[in-house]
Amino acid sequence: MAKLKPQDLDKIADRMRRQMTLREGAGRARVTVHMGTCGISAGARKIMTTLLDLVQQEQIDDIILTTSGCAGLCSREPMMTVELKDNAPVKYVDLTEDKTRKIFSDHILGGKIVAEYALGVGSERES
Amino acid sequence: MNMADKSSADEPKTHRAHLLICAGTGCVSNRSFEVRDALEKEITRRGLANEVKIVATGCQGFCAQGPIMIVQPDNVFYQMLTPADVPLLVEEHLVKGRPVKTLMYIPREGEPPVPKLSDIDFFSKQRLVVLRRRGLLDPEQIDEYIGREGYRALAKVLTEMTPDETIQEVKVSGLRGRGGAGFPTGLKWEIARKSPGTSKCIICNADEGDPGAFMDRSIIESDPHAVLEGMVIGSYAIGADQGYVYIREEYPLAMKRLHIAIEQARDYGLLGENILGTGHNFDITVSRGAGAFVCGEETSLIGSLEGRTPEPRIRPPFPAQSGLWGLPTNINNVETWANVPVIINRGAQWFASIGTESSKGTKVFSVVGKVSNTGLVEVPMGTTLREIVYDIGGGVPGGKKLKGVQTGGPSGGCIPESLIDLPIDYEKLAEVGSIMGSGGMIVMDEETCMVDLARYFLDFLRGESCGKCTTCREGVAAMHDIVENICKGKGKPSDIPLLEELAGAVRDASLCALGGTAPNPVLSTLRYFRHEYEAHINDKRCPAGVCRELIHYRIDSESCKGCMACVKRCPEQAIHGKPKEPQTIDGNKCIKCGVCRESCKFQAVMVA
């Protein structure tokens, strides 16, 4: 193992940032794939795998991928919710791998909502 | 250790969830490693191994609820896990994204479970400075430490600050020794720096000896690099080239992680010669102690490190002038060292803004005894006992009344319930006859006998006295015998003034702090609970119902339903009666073990 110089600490920290972001639960964006029974049978697993691959490929360290249960609209699964920091969440429906890639580049990275795949902006009111 | 086969050396993979399972000593003894193994198996079986990462962390603090696990990024807290819970947890939370309510924390019976870590009072009311990385990283991976500000403070002092500036920063921060006495750390460093000598030593005192205390153990287990980084910074400030960690043999997990951390730091050039390429040389040796309380005292510790019998010696010369092998030596406790990097990173002013006028920063306490949430707690100096016992600790379980809090271990004292709003710092604790010590905190309820408690600590201390000073060796033993006699109902009214006289002699004529503080448990209980001593002596009565020679058990015929639960559990067959009729206890057979009282559902067993 090479001996470190002060600037090498930054390099290691950058490499570790993705893991650390996840553990703090804070990042630029939070993407939730709905994985209830309905979502899984409609192919949510493939959507999740696609997202994980994209994040890995692009070397992104501040996007949190997570799962949740059924979103309540089983007929439109697979679904995901994209929540950019300080923006209202956007729900996407009837996802495929191609649609996921477009949403990833346009919305998650680019900040532009892909209106044609979106169900709507916002979430239900919580009592 | 071969660094090449550690995953940290590779590009970290993307995961969608991290399972942070506690691998501190408390949770490990509750079999958290079995839970981890079950999780690994189940996650692989489910094909989630590439998406979900399992991380074994150091102590997360909530030891009462162990084994515990936090799922990130959801921030969901699970408790009391068993391998049998794992399939459900993986299926529901990780496959379907539905956190499992039945495995969550329930504050009080009948209340809904609390899913989020940040909503649990035990966690949300603490302020983490020393323990800021607890539960967030794998203590056996140096890259994870570096990923969270690790070794930045060291790089800063080595490249941007002179040793004198470093000492000045620690002085301004107001950091005081966390091992007990509370001596200002910066001043201590300055004395060692000014001491003439070409070779100097620094020592990390990890000889945590108070019964029930596990602060230092947990710091080393959860964040060993913070201690090492603090020591390297100290070595630069003082001009030391050799370092020692004196740790007790009975801390195997802490020792293992310390060894791994030292190896990794050496591999990275953070220990050894030419640290970070700046020309500073310093290395650390781990020295195992056999676990003697007196070794917490500096000169005894040095004696033990040199291979001599650990006995304190007269000071001066102080260790800063002539310590280990006659070299100028600076000793600080684990928690003190762990505070150093954050002071350098965040600045002395920031640190000094936390705490009270005389005591800056935070303090880690191990809160144990008759309290709902036992565990490791870090709070700003000046936090009241009430906040610790009730807000964080969740109060006394079983609807019992709080009687007091014992702080500072065997050298400390008992603080009565009437002083519950006392803000805790070094001076305030001394004013009420106790000490900060290293941070042990034992909560006592109405069923704790204060005379018995004093007897317990005296028993501990008479065994731990090194025997060098007559007052400590004979005086503590004599005090123990008197208090034990009082517990047995053989006390005389003259015992109390005799105890006070002996206490003065032991305190004034013993060389080191062990003897100097040994009378504290007696003096503080006499100060606040003298009536309990008097009840034992004059009325031959133990008000708390603890001292066996002074109590007897009886069954209240009105409340007893004749369920026979006590009859079945009595080890001496001392309870008689017909089913569904009130039972009676045969006083000649009864050994006063209290099993009947524990087993009674109707509170029919009385102690008098």
Mean of the pLDDT values across residues B29-39? Answer: 94
- Whole-number pLDDT of residue A123: 60
A23 contacts on B by Cβ (under 8 Å)? 18, 20, 72-73, 136-137
- Kindly give the pairing relationship between strand B69-72 and strand B76-78: antiparallel
Alpha-carbon distance B34 to nearest alpha carbon in chain A (angstroms): 23
Alpha-carbon distance B28 to nearest alpha carbon in chain A (angstroms): 22
**Looking at the complex, does the CB of residue A18 fall below 8 Å from at least one CB of chain B?**
yes
Residue by residue, what is the 3-state secondary structure of B249-281? CCCHHHHHHHHHHHHHHHHCCCCEEEECCCCEE
Query: Which helix (H) or strand (E) element contains residue A36?
Result: none
- Whole-number pLDDT of residue A85: 80
Angle at which helices A6-24 and B152-160 cross, to 10°: 150
User: Which are the contacts of B260, defined by CB distance < 8 A and separation ≥ 6?
Assistant: B1, B140, B224
- Whole-number pLDDT of residue B1: 38
Alpha-carbon distance B115 to nearest alpha carbon in chain A (angstroms): 14
pLDDT at B2 over 50: no
Q: Nearest-CA residue of chain B relative to A29?
A: B73
pLDDT in tens, B276-300: 999 999 999 999 998 889 998 999 9
- Residue tagged 């949510």 (tokens): A44
DSSP B106: -
- Whole-number pLDDT of residue B164: 97
**Looking at the complex, does the CB of residue A126 fall below 8 Å from at least one CB of chain B?**
no
Q: In what order do the strands lie in the sheet with A80-84?
A: A63-68, A29-34, A80-84, A90-92, A118-121
Residues belonging to chain B: 608
pLDDT in tens, B77-120: 999 999 999 999 999 999 888 899 999 998 887 888 888 888 88
Least confident of B132-141, B403-412, B477-486, B569-578: B132-141
C-alpha B568: how far from chain center: 39
**E strands in B258-412:** 272-275, 280-289, 329-333, 362-369, 375-380, 402-407
**Terminal-residue alpha carbon distance, chain A:** 56
Can you spell out the DSSP letters for B158-183? Answer: HHH--HHHHHHHHHHHT-B-TTSS--
Q: Nearest-CA residue of chain A relative to B276?
A: A5
Helix segments in B447-555, DSSP class H: 450-464, 470, 476-487, 495-509, 513-517, 520-538
Cα–Cα dist B448/B252, whole Å: 32
Residues belonging to chain A: 127
User: Which are the contacts of B165, defined by CB distance < 8 A and separation ≥ 6?
Assistant: none
Among B22, B94, B96, B273, the strongest candidate for a mutation testing the A interface, having the largest count of A CBs within 10 A, is: B96
Dihedral of the alpha carbons of B169, B175, B176, B179, in degrees to the nearest 10: -110
Mean of the pLDDT values across residues B551-564? Answer: 91
Q: Rg (Cα) of chain A, in Å, rounded? A: 16
For residue B195 the two structure tokens come to: 């001491």
pLDDT in tens, B321-374: 999 999 999 999 999 999 999 999 999 999 999 999 999 999 999 999 999 998
Nearest to A55 among B14, B17, B278 (CB): B14
pLDDT in tens, B113-163: 888 888 888 888 899 999 988 888 899 999 999 998 999 999 999 999 999
**Backbone phi, psi, residue B379, to 5°:** -135, 155
- Whole-number pLDDT of residue B10: 52
pLDDT in tens, B169-203: 999 999 999 987 899 999 999 999 999 999 999 99
- Which of B118, B234, B232, B123 shows the shortest CA–CA distance to B170? B234
Nearest to B276 among A6, A22, A52 (CB): A6
B274 contacts on A by Cβ (under 8 Å)? 3
Average pLDDT, chain B: 92
**Looking at the complex, does the CB of residue A37 fall below 8 Å from at least one CB of chain B?**
yes
B72 contacts on A by Cβ (under 8 Å)? 22-25
- Whole-number pLDDT of residue B11: 57
- Whole-number pLDDT of residue B368: 93
What are B288's strand-pairing partners? B247
| Cβ separation B75–A25 shorter than 8 A | yes
Q: Which residue has the higher pLDDT, B588 or B236?
A: B236
Angle at which helices B476-487 and B450-464 cross, to 10°: 150
| Cβ separation A18–B14 shorter than 8 A | yes
Question: Which conformational region is residue B446 in: left (phi greater than 0), alpha (psi within -120 to 50 degrees), or beta?
Answer: alpha
- Kindly give the pairing relationship between strand A80-84 and strand A90-92: antiparallel
* Chain B residues within 8 Å of chain A (Cβ atoms): 3, 11-18, 20, 50-51, 53, 72-75, 94-98, 136-137, 143-144, 146-152, 155, 158-159, 267-270, 274, 276-278
Other CB atoms within 10 Å distance of the CB of residue B47: 11
| Cβ separation B147–A19 shorter than 8 A | yes
pLDDT at B7 over 60: no
Q: Rg (Cα) of chain B, in Å, rounded? A: 26
Q: Kindly indicate the confidence band of residue B399, based on its pLDDT and cuts at 50, 70 and 90.
A: confident
| Cβ separation B97–A3 shorter than 8 A | no
Q: Kindly indicate the confidence band of residue B4, based on its pLDDT and cuts at 50, 70 and 90.
A: very low
| Cβ separation A30–B73 shorter than 8 A | yes
| Cβ separation B97–A20 shorter than 8 A | no
Q: Which residue has the higher pLDDT, A89 or B521?
A: B521
Residues 67..106 of A with a Cβ closer than 8 Å to B: which? 67-69
**Looking at the complex, does the CB of residue A122 fall below 8 Å from at least one CB of chain B?**
no
**Looking at the complex, does the CB of residue A121 fall below 8 Å from at least one CB of chain B?**
no
Q: Nearest-CA residue of chain B relative to A49?
A: B51
pLDDT tens by residue, chain A, 127 residues = 678 999 999 999 888 877 777 777 667 888 989 887 788 888 888 999 999 899 888 887 788 888 887 777 778 889 999 988 878 888 899 999 999 999 999 999 888 889 889 887 666 555 4
Contact A8/B157 with Cβ under 8 angstroms? no
Question: What value, to the nearest 5°, has the Cα angle with vertex B390 and ends B384 and B394?
Answer: 145
- Whole-number pLDDT of residue B317: 93
Percent of chain B with pLDDT over 70: 98
Cα–Cα dist A46/A53, whole Å: 11
What are B330's strand-pairing partners? B202
